[in-house]
Structure 1
Amino acid sequence: MFLATAEQASGGIESLLMTYGPLVLMFVVLYFLLIRPQQKRQKTRNMMLGNLKKGDKVVTIGGLHGTILELTDDTVILRVNDVTKLTFERSAINAVQTASE
């Protein structure tokens, strides 16, 4: 009787593994292909926005190029064409231009 119970238990574990194994594998693959890279990009973007300083040349999400005149926690004032001052949300900054660009 004990032998039959052990065989049923091992069969139960195998069927459980066959049922939920592909589901677990799918979540692991999705994590490494989608979630983890997105978290890395978000971390890099937050570091870029946190390191902005006066005088940086930036490009906004809309493609506007300008130089930072003033910074607050939420807003950025950009100088465009050496004449115009425009106010943007800090999150609207897409990239900081380097000297080589």
Structure 2
Amino acid sequence: MFATPAYAQTAAAGTTGGPQDLLIQFLPLIGLVVLFYFLMIRPQQRRMKQHKTMLAAIKRGDTVVLSSGMIGKIVRVEDKEVGIEVATGVTVKVVRGMIAEVRTRGEPAAANDAKA
């Protein structure tokens, strides 16, 4: 009644944009999700994988740093726990996952065969 025919046509044309307008609305959101994946999730997964392989490779004699900052030498390795010597004669039992880094690898045990 009060709307002119031209105004009614432009209002109707704006609502029938179709799937292209819907895609344009969600494109920034999709871009943020992709950016978040490559900048946050993927590097974290890579770090977790490296940490798991490091924990699987620890052996007796390695010098390690715990997540608390304590430094010690591994004297006993078990499934879920390790024994760490933090001072002469002081051994602490620690959960394996709390090892933050391995500083120096222990020397391999010498063989019992004599060299000529």
**Per the shorter chain, which TM-score range?**
0.7 to 0.9
Classify the secondary structure of the residue corresponding to 2:69.
coil
1:39 and 2:83 correspond: no
- Measure, in 1, the Cα distance between the counterparts of 2:48 and 2:33: 21
What is the CA RMSD across the aligned residues, in angstroms? 1.6
- When you count helix as a share of all residues, which structure comes out higher? 1
- Measure, in 2, the Cα distance between the counterparts of 1:90 and 1:81: 19
- Measure, in 2, the Cα distance between the counterparts of 1:29 and 1:65: 37
Q: TM-score under structure 2 normalisation?
A: 0.72
Partner of 1:3: none
Partner of 2:73: 67
Opposite residue 16 of structure 1, the aligned amino acid is L
- Name stretches of at least 5 consecutive residues in structure 2 with no aligned partner: 1-16, 106-116
Opposite residue 29 of structure 2, the aligned amino acid is L
- Name stretches of at least 5 consecutive residues in structure 1 with no aligned partner: 1-10
Partner of 2:13: none
1:18 to 18, 24, 40: 24
For each residue in 1:1-44, what CA deviation from the matched residue of structure 2 results, as whole angstroms up to 9, or x when unmatched?
xxxxxxxxxx4132021121111111101001111111111111
How many residues get paired? Answer: 90
Identity %: 38
Once the two structures are TM-superposed, the CA of residue 78 in structure 1 deviates from its matched residue by: 0.7
1:51 to 45, 51, 57: 57
Q: TM-score under structure 1 normalisation?
A: 0.82
Select the structure of larger CA radius of gyration.
2
1:28 and 2:34 correspond: yes
Classify the secondary structure of the residue corresponding to 1:45.
helix
Q: Which aligned segments of 4 or more residues in structure 1 are displaced greater than 4 angstroms?
A: none
1:93 and 2:99 correspond: yes
